[in-house]
Every structure is written in structure tokens, then in C-alpha cells.
Amino acid sequence: MSRSVMRRVSLRNLAAHKLRLVLTVFSIMLGTSFVAGSMVFTASISNAFNSLFDNVAPGVSAEVSPSADSAGEGVEDSVVAELRSRKGELGIDRLVTDYSAMVTVAGADGKAISTGGAPSTGSAFIPADEALAPDATTVLPGGRAPKGKGEIAINASAAEKNGLKVGSETKVIVGQGSSKPMTVTVVALLDQPGATSGFVNVQFEAAVARQLMSDGASVGLIDMRAVDGVSPEQLRDRVAAIVDPERYEVRTGDQVRDDAKSTFTDFLNIFQAVLLAFAAIGLVVGTFIIYNTFSMIVAQRNKELALLRAVGASKQQVSRSVLFEAFIVGVVGGAVGLVIGIGLAALLKMLANSGTGLPEGPLTVTPAAVLAALFVGIVVTMISAWVPASRASRVAPVEAMRASTAEDGSNLRRRTLVGAGFGVLALGLIIGGATHVGVGPAVAVGIGAGFAILAAVLGGPALAQPFVGGLGRVLGAPFGKIGSLARTNAVRNPRRTSATAFALTLGLLLVSIIGILGASFKGTADEAVDTGIGAEFIISDTNQQALPTSIVDAVAGTDGVGSMVAFGVVQARYDGSFMTGQAAVGDGLGDLLRLEMLDGASAEVPADGLLVTEAFASKKNWHRGDKLTFTTIGGKDVEVTVAGVFKDTPLVQPWIMGAEAYRDLVPRSLRMTTFVLVSPAPGVTSDELRERLDTATADFLTVQIQDPEEFKGTIAGVIDQMLAVLYAMLGLALAIAILGIVNTLALSVVERKREIGTLRAIGMLRAQVRRSIYLESVLIAVFGAVLGVCIGSVLGWALTRTLAKWGLGDPVMPWSLIGGTVLAAFVVGILAALWPAVRAARTKPLEAIADL
Amino acid sequence: MTHSRGGTGHHQVAAVAGNLTKTYGSGDTEVAALRGVSVAFGAGEFTAIMGPSGSGKSTLMHCLAGLDVATSGSVRIGEVELTGLSDKAMTTLRRDRIGFVFQAFNLVPTLTAAENITLPLDIAGRDVDQAWFDTVVGRLGLTDRLSHRPAELSGGQQQRVACARALVGRPDIIFGDEPTGNLDSRSSGEVLDILRAATDEFGQTVVIVTHDPRAAAYADRVVFLADGQIVRELHRPSADDVFEVMRNLDGAVVGGPGTVGGTDPSVVV
């Protein structure tokens, strides 16, 4: 038999079974489209970021900025003066100073503009004739330079998105320093290249910017343009020789741009890793679907392959013919997957651009994405096909031709034993890990998770039989014989059932782990708030950012405030390196925050002292009464006494410093408030106080006043937001699971045509046929879901316990989530069965007699 | 004719086909499988339908049994006219009033013999008449095979289970589509004995399609089809009689119907 004949058999085969072909291509497409989609999406985003950063620092030869160590304090005026005076000597053609601060701006609707994660910055307006690159930023016609405190220029893209025009009146709050909410008028729209999507830039007159965004004795940064004949590198080196290298950093314009890119490359790498994790899940699950599909197809073709063997085709020829088919299908599936992946990326980009502050840019299809999609499609398909094909070719031709159906329940013993081995190993690692705390145990649980998944894959078929059987008895009971038919069909081929259910198993395993972690975080936070917060109200920023410092004055000046403490952030050197902690400014800390003090120390923090957590005190070997020396950025030493040690709480870490020490350590321009705790004065009710606080803070766009219950809700909201990825995973798993089950059921229906025909002939109604398929599907889906939830719960529980070191409390089971997912599996089962059930019900009774 | 249910003999009619036609395809490729077949099957009678390949005997049975829809003409099972019945009504009719025995047994592989036997009743949600079940199973010699799955049974045993499945619901009529086609001669004999006994002992109406003269010889009446029409009919023939007619039919097909010398073409209705 020549090679071309075998090839013709393969091709004819593909053409003759269109449904099969479509389903197989479909399953490959699922896996590859996620890979292609995530690669194209990240390439597009990274491209957009690159072009964005190419527009950073236009015309700049060299830039002086505060070094990373100096924690954001500005460049002292003396540096500016020195550079100005030595302009000619250094080769500086033009020098500009700029300022920078986080700002909150209201849109036309009066609400704070949400940038979707992109920065919202304030800076100085630099007129074109003073700018280093006069063409880079242009004022759109109709605008003019802002003058005085009441006028701003804003980038056109932000203005457009938020309904601001020249002449619009709006509010601006500068995030740091002591600025109060200001009412301003937009006098100019700025066309900034690369400033797309969420990015907001508000510009003030230079003198106003200096007043709002610096301590009055420094500038934000210095940009310089070199004279002709002096290279940026030369200028950089000359300037670097003059300024204090400890406090300042001097970079060329290219370095500034590269640094900006590289910070985002890190971000993008994480982003891509998350997306590729999704792709990996899609692919792993997709592989199972492809494998399952090919197993079924080869099983259905056993007779035909045996016939080829009987007329003289060798084992190799048969295998090769199946592989050739797989290759064709892989190429087609990979190509379709690529196209759909690009579509997915476009869709993601659309969603991302509307919901977040990611920059816009063209869709970038890299060769790597194309190759990855095709490679994955072809290789995974061929491997998936090779296993069943070689199994098929091992069957003696005569035997295969005689066997009527493709029952495949044999030979589970070895597989199950290996699976059980992995299971024991996994359990050992997980329990071993769960009884300890720290990184090592967490890693042990992680490795255990890998083994547990392997155990689930290998042991799945053996578990499917008793589980689906038992569940089928319960669920099928109300349906009588239809129920028992569905049950027996679902356990008929346990390999297939378990491979089909695997999509749900893996998806819900991940969902359970993350769900338990999330619930445990929430539980820990809830408990901390319940036991730790004595204040009636918590004032914080709606975007979990710093509050403007002026909020403190606004609250302090409100009638009816009894005790009040504002929490700030302290960054100072201690023992040679930077240390970050909290500061408490105000009276009544002991009442507002119920710290559990050790050794009977007072819960009030003295102005020149600090309170420290037990864990941190023991780590640093600090004791009550120790005098610690902190050093400011400017180099001034401040002595702080350890006034007490309190039990660890997630509310404040690692220490709280008194007001005086805070003022000494942190310059005014860098002070910021994270949250404020407030309780009413005697005789004032909570409701009264809340009303007054609402009025007093009305101008602050992003301030929220919450009682502890509401505050818990906010924390839960933040955790949920971080867990959004969980729901995306759940969605992905459910989508793939539906498609996988559709695939299996559709092929099963084809396989069982004769049997279904018989049932129809002896009187089974169409509705009954449909019902039996629904039930079968639900059984498969619930099996997968329950297996995933069980393994995931154990892993989540173990992982939470190992994380106790980082303040995570006892594991909390998210029962509603677990119940919800199992219910969702029900729905998935029914959804997946809709189409196959209709197909099955259309089977004609005469199929009972038809030759297969 | 020996016993019949209600003692009314074949005066009562279990199934009737009137001027039944069935064509497949259209235009040039049109093939007529049945060309105006009218035939009645008396209650409590064992009838065999015979004919050469392509004579339309299977199509006739499929139309009679509600497995296929005729192009024109009418079919009645008992008092029910099948023409124009909805799929649901047709399915219910098959379930409650018709029993099937197929050439390939067509048992559900995942169910035990007992479950297969009661399947039509279970689907209908009807109670199984335990005494009748025991009688049928005992008579068919399946008592110690009830918990076996089809794969664990021989072909003859599987076909006996199929017979029990057809009998246990006491249908108006049992149709057999080449019921011995996949069996050796000993098993064939057993199955035909059962069908014969079903008529004789239980008064069951049985209609089978077969190409085996020995199988036809078990019947009370043999109807011969050729080229989509009924051409001949024999009562209580011997295998040799049937064989003789078949041989003539095979040779005479070219000449079409009517060239066969018939003893008594007494087609009822």
C-alpha cells in the first residue's frame, strides 16, 4: 500500500466526518486561541507603552531628579542656582525646572476622574518659548497659559474623556502637602503626544506649582538641553560631578525614557505572566479535550483502522495516517485559533482601554504569537492523537473488526495505583506543609498541589465510577429509568468521563484555593476591625490612596469631634537603611484603636515615642524603653523612645510613631495621611457627627466616611477586586468545560446512535432522550466540580495555614462560593447538553436497524 | 389456528395496511419500495413476510410498526390510525402497543437482562406485572440470566431477552425484523419456538420479516412481496413450500408480479 493511498484515506476520512472534524478543530482552537490572544494582547500593550514612553522628557539632554533613596523629596534650589550660574561652563543651552505631584481632578460631573490606574499628575506649565522641545506640547487653539491659583491647563485626552472644555469650572486637590480643595477654571487644553487613555496631567503657572507641590525651597526636577557640540552623556557626567550623588540622580533623556520603559516592562512581564497562566490553563484543559476527542474518534474508527490493517497496512502506516490527520487538523485548528486569539486580544484591548488607564495603540501581531499558536496546535494535537493511535494499532485486526463498540474500561488498575501513589505523596506534602508556617511549607503545599493534580488526572477514572454512580442514584432517582440510563452512560467509559470533567476540576480547584485565601483575608480583616477599631468612623480615600493632609484640619475643625487620630506614613533611615512605619497624630489613640498592649504599657503613643508590634520588636530586638535613632532624608537625627509593644494586628504595622517625632522626621511637603479615626464628643450622636463630617469634607472629592461595618465592606471590596482574576478563571474554566462536555457528548451521541435509535423504537420519547443526556452531562459536570472543589479546598486550607506568618488568620471556607460553583456546574452541565441532547433526540428509530 | 386471545380467532384484526406506498428520493433517482400494498394481520396470528432483497418487505414492516412513515396509504394498529400521528403519539404507540425483536438484538449494553426486559415499561412509568414477568422469563429460560449484561450473554440468549422485552408489555402486536438473521440454526429454532409459543400460548399477534424459509415455516401465514407488491400468500406452509415459492419469485422478478402461479392470493381487505 503506497503512502499516497494512506494519505488519501486520511483526507477522505476528514472530509467524510464533518461534525467530528469541526469538533476537533474546535477543541484545538480553544487551546491555541488563548495562547495567541494573550501574546498578541501583551505585545500590543507593551508596544503602546513603548510609544508612550518615547514621548517622555522631550528635548531633554540631561535631567537631575531626587535619587531613589531620597524618597521623593525635591531638588534643592541651591542646585538650580549653581547649574544656572555655570550654564556656559557646563554646556547647558537651556534649563527648566518642573514640579510633580499626584492630583485629584473632578470631571464635568463633579466626581473625581477615574484614571483606571494611569497616573494623574500635576506639574508646572512651561510656555513653548521656554520649553526644551517647543513643539512637544502645544496649547490647542482657544487656550492660553494659566495664571494664578484659579487656572489650569489640562491634557486634551483627559479633558475630552471627562467632559472638560476651556472655560469649565472644576475642582483640583493636590495629593501631598497641605493644599486644600481648589476651584479652578480650565484655560487651556494641551496636546501631548502619547498621552492617551486614562492619563491626566494638570498644569499650573510655575509659581503656583512651586507653592502647591514643593516645600518652597526646592524644585521637583531639573531638565537641561545641551548646547551644540556637547553630547547628552557629556552633559550628564559634568552635572553629576557637581551634585550630591547620594541625594540626586543625573540621567540622559534616553536613560529617563528607558527607565520609564523598564519599570513598565516589569509590570508588563507580570501582566503577561498572568495572561500566559490563563493561556496555560486554557491549553492544559484544551489538551485534555483534544486528547479526549481523538481517543473517541480513533475508538470509533477502530474497525476501519483494523480493516486497513487486515488488507495489509502496517502498524506504522496506520499510526502515520492518524498522525497525518492530526497534523492537518492541528494546522487548521492552530490557524483558526490564531485568528480567534487575535480577535480575543482586540476585544480585551477594547475592554482594557475603556475600563483601565492602559495606553492605546495598534494591535501588534508578533511572529512569536503566530508561531506559538501553530506550534501548540500542531504539537498538542499530534501528541494527543499519537497515544490513542498507537493503542489502536496494537489491537489485532480481527479482534478490532469483531468488537462492536469502543468500550474502554479496562486497564485502569495500574493508572489508578500510580495516581494513588501521587495522591499519598501530595497528601503528605500538604499536611506536612499545613502544620508549619513560612515560605518552605508554602512551597511544600505548592508542590503537593502539583502532585494532587497529577493524582486527580490519573485517579479520576477510578473515582468517577463510584462517585458518578452514587450521585447518579441520588439525582437520577426522580427520573426512574431515564435516570439510571443516564447514570450508566456517564460511568460507561470512566476515562472519558474523567477527562471531560477535568476542565471543571482544574478550574474549580484554582477557584477554591483563591476563594479560601480571599475569604481568609476577609475574615482576618473583619476580625481585626471588630476587635481592633474603637472609633465610630474611619475616614479614608475612595481609591485607597493618600488623603490630602488638609483633610485633617477640616475634620479637626468639625464641631462634635471628640477624639481623633490621623495616620501618616513615616519613611526614615534607621541603622543605615530605610524603614517605613506609621505615625499617629491626634488624641485618643487608646480608645480609637484597641491595641492589645503587653506588660501593661499605655496604648497612647507619646509624642516622641513609638509603639511597635510584638513580631517586629523581636525581629529588631527592640524593647520597651529603648531609645532609637532615626535619620531624616536631610541627615538630621531624631531620637525616638520605644514606649510599648503591642500584639500583632493587621491594622497597623510595624510601628506607630508619635506626632512630634513624625514632624521632625518627615518634611511637610512629604507628609500624607492614610486614614483618620474619629469618635464623637460626649453628647453628640454618631448620626449627628456623620452629618457634620459629610458637610466638612464635601469638597474633598475622594474622601469617604465609614463606620467599622462599612469599612469592612470596603476592605472586602478591595480583596474582591484583587480576586477578580478568580472570577475570570472561573469563567474561563466554565467556558472551556462547557465546550469540552459538548464535544464529548456530541461524539457519544454519534457513537450511540444505534442504541438511541433502539430506545426510540421501543418507545422512548424525544423529551426523555433529551432528559437522559442532560442528566448524564450534569453528572459529569458535578463530578468534575466536586473533585476540583475538594482538592482545591484542602490546598487552600493548607496554604492559608502556612501564610499565618504574614498575619493571615484561620482559614475561612467560602461556603457560598463553593455552593455557587457546584450549582454553576449543574448549569454548565445542562447548557453543555442542550445541543447534543437535541441531536440525540432527533435520532430516528430506524437508526436501530441501520448498519453502523 | 389454535388459541387466540379472547377466542375471537383471526376475525379480529391487529394491524391493517391500506394501499401503502413508499418512495425514496425524487426525480430520476426515485425508487418505489412499496407500490400500493394492502394487507391485514389477524389478532393472535403468526405471520411471516417474505420476499427477495429489495422487494420492500422491510419497508413494509417499518411502516406498519411506526418506525417509518409511508408516502401514502394508511396503517392502523388496532383502532389507531398511524397516518398523521405526531412523533410523540407515534412513540407512545410503539411503546405501549408494539413489541420489537431486531436482527442485531439491540439490547442496551449498560443494563442487565432484567432491566432490558422491563425497559419499555420503565420508560412508560408503568408497573411491571411481576407474575407475567416471571411467566415470560420462565418460559424463555432466562430466570438465571437476569442479572447478566448483554455482553455476558450468547447471541441466542440476547435474542431471547429481546423477545422477553417485546412480550412483557403485552403489546397488540410484535414485529420481528429478521429476528434469526444473526443466529445459528439451533438458536434460531429456539427463538422461533418462542414466537410460535407466544402466539399459541399467550395469544400474541406476531409479524416477522425473514428470508429464511425454515423461519417462515413456523408462521400461520406467509405473505410474499416482490417489487413492492404482494404477490402470493401461503397458509401454514412447510419450509419446502416456502422455498419453492421463493425460488420462483427470485426467478420471476424480471417478469414482474402476476406471473407467479398462485394458489390463493386471498389478500384480506
- Residues A280-328 have pLDDT tens digits of 777 777 777 778 877 777 777 777 777 777 777 777 887 888 888 888 8
CA dist B186 and A44 (Å) reads 76
**Cβ neighbours of B104 in A, within 8 Å:** 754, 849
Residue A443 within a domain: no
Query: Do A166 and A314 fall into the same domain?
Result: no
Q: What is the mean pLDDT of chain A?
A: 83
- For residue A195, name the pLDDT band (cuts at 50, 70, 90): low
Chain A contact present for B125, CB below 8 A: yes
* pLDDT for position B269: 35
Query: Do A685 and A758 fall into the same domain?
Result: no
Nearest CB to A481 within list B66, B106, B119: B119
- Parse chain B into domains and list their residue ranges: 5-255
pLDDT digits (tens, 9 = 90+) for A358-381: 677 778 888 888 888 888 888 888
Query: Would residue A251 be called left, alpha or beta, if left means φ above 0 and alpha means ψ between -120 and 50 degrees?
Result: beta
Query: Do A469 and A501 fall into the same domain?
Result: yes
Adjacency order of strands within the sheet including B173-177: B98-101, B173-177, B206-209, B46-50, B221-226, B229-235
Is A763–B94 a contact, with Cβ atoms under 8 angstroms apart?
yes
Cis previous bond, A654, omega within 30: yes
**Cβ neighbours of B87 in A, within 8 Å:** 766
Q: Quick one: closest CA in B to A487, which residue?
A: B110
* pLDDT for position A117: 66
Nearest CB to A846 within list B62, B109, B111: B62
Residue B38 has pLDDT above 70, yes or no: yes
Mutation site for B-interface testing, chosen from A481, A762, A776, A849 by largest number of B Cβ within 10 Å: A762
* pLDDT for position A357: 62
Q: CA A750: distance to chain centroid?
A: 41
* pLDDT for position B6: 39
Q: Which of A225, A179, A218 is nearest to A202 (CA)?
A: A179
pLDDT digits (tens, 9 = 90+) for A447-462: 999 999 999 989 988 9
Identify the DSSP state of A795.
Answer: H
Residue A364 within a domain: yes
Q: Is the CB of residue A844 less than 8 Å from the CB of residue A757?
A: yes
pLDDT digits (tens, 9 = 90+) for B68-119: 888 999 999 988 898 888 989 999 999 999 999 998 888 988 889 999 999 9
CA dist B236 and B219 (Å) reads 6
Residue B169 has pLDDT above 80, yes or no: yes
| Cross-strand pairs, A190 | A139, A155
The domain in which residue A485 lies consists of 463-533+711-852
pLDDT digits (tens, 9 = 90+) for A26-37: 778 877 887 788
pLDDT digits (tens, 9 = 90+) for A233-276: 999 999 988 888 878 889 998 888 888 888 777 767 777 777 77
Residue A346, min C-alpha distance to chain B (Å): 47
Ranges A106-110, A626-630, A800-804, most confident: A626-630
* pLDDT for position A203: 92
Q: Quick one: closest CA in A to B61, which residue?
A: A846
Q: Is the CB of residue A641 less than 8 Å from the CB of residue A606?
A: yes
Residue B238 has pLDDT above 50, yes or no: yes
Nearest CB to B106 within list A484, A488, A848: A848
Q: Are strands A655-657 and A577-587 parallel, antiparallel or unpaired?
A: parallel
Query: Do A606 and A740 fall into the same domain?
Result: no
Residue A448 within a domain: no
Local structure of A488: helix, strand or coil: helix
Residue A715 has pLDDT above 80, yes or no: yes
Query: Do A225 and A278 fall into the same domain?
Result: no
Task: Using the 3D structure, point to which of A406, A422, A453 is the last residue of a domain.
Answer: A406
Nearest CB to B102 within list A482, A485, A848: A848
Q: What ipTM is given for this predicted complex? A: 0.85
Query: Do A688 and A564 fall into the same domain?
Result: yes
Q: Quick one: closest CA in B to A850, which residue?
A: B104
Residue A230 has pLDDT above 50, yes or no: yes
Q: CA A744: distance to chain centroid?
A: 32
pLDDT digits (tens, 9 = 90+) for A542-585: 777 778 777 888 888 888 888 899 998 888 888 878 888 999 98
Q: How far is CA A451 from CA A428, A447, A455, in A?
A: 10, 6, 6
Residue A201 has pLDDT above 50, yes or no: yes
A300 C-beta neighbours (distance < 10 Å), count? 17
Give B14's contacts (C-beta < 8 A, 6+ positions apart): B41, B42, B43, B44, B45, B77, B78, B172, B173, B205
CA dist A645 and A655 (Å) reads 9
Query: Do A673 and A769 fall into the same domain?
Result: no
Q: Which residue has the higher pLDDT, A166 or A848?
A: A166
CA dist A299 and A293 (Å) reads 10
Task: Using the 3D structure, point to which of A204, A238, A254 is the last residue of a domain.
Answer: A254
Q: Take residue B164 and report the three cell numbers written for it.
A: 422477553
Top CATH class of B5-255 equals alpha beta
Nearest CB to A765 within list B62, B88, B109: B88
Q: One-letter amino acid identity for A615?
A: A
Average pLDDT over residues A157-161: 85
Query: Do A49 and A198 fall into the same domain?
Result: no
Residue A162 within a domain: yes
Task: Using the 3D structure, point to which of A651, A686, A706 is the last residue of a domain.
Answer: A706
Look at chain A and report how many structural domains it folds into.
4
Query: Do A696 and A823 fall into the same domain?
Result: no
* Chain A interface with B: residues with Cβ < 8 Å: 405, 407, 480-482, 484-485, 488-489, 492, 754-755, 758-766, 768, 844-846, 848-849
Q: CA A792: distance to chain centroid?
A: 19
Is B94–A845 a contact, with Cβ atoms under 8 angstroms apart?
yes
Query: Do A794 and A719 fall into the same domain?
Result: yes
Residue A413 within a domain: no
Q: Is the dihedral of CA A232, A234, A235, A236 positive or negative?
A: positive
Is B100–A492 a contact, with Cβ atoms under 8 angstroms apart?
no
CA atoms within 13 A on the CB side of B190: 19
- For residue B205, name the pLDDT band (cuts at 50, 70, 90): very high
Q: How far is CA A685 from CA A537, A616, A695, in A?
A: 12, 38, 16
Query: Do A148 and A296 fall into the same domain?
Result: no
Cβ-Cβ contacts under 8 Å between A and B: the total is 79
Residue A621 within a domain: yes
Is A845–B67 a contact, with Cβ atoms under 8 angstroms apart?
yes
Residue B13 φ/ψ, nearest 5 degrees: -110, 130
Strands in A669-721 per DSSP E: 673-680, 703-706
pLDDT digits (tens, 9 = 90+) for A117-134: 677 888 899 888 888 887
Per the listing, cell 479496562 goes with A410
Query: Do A8 and A152 fall into the same domain?
Result: no
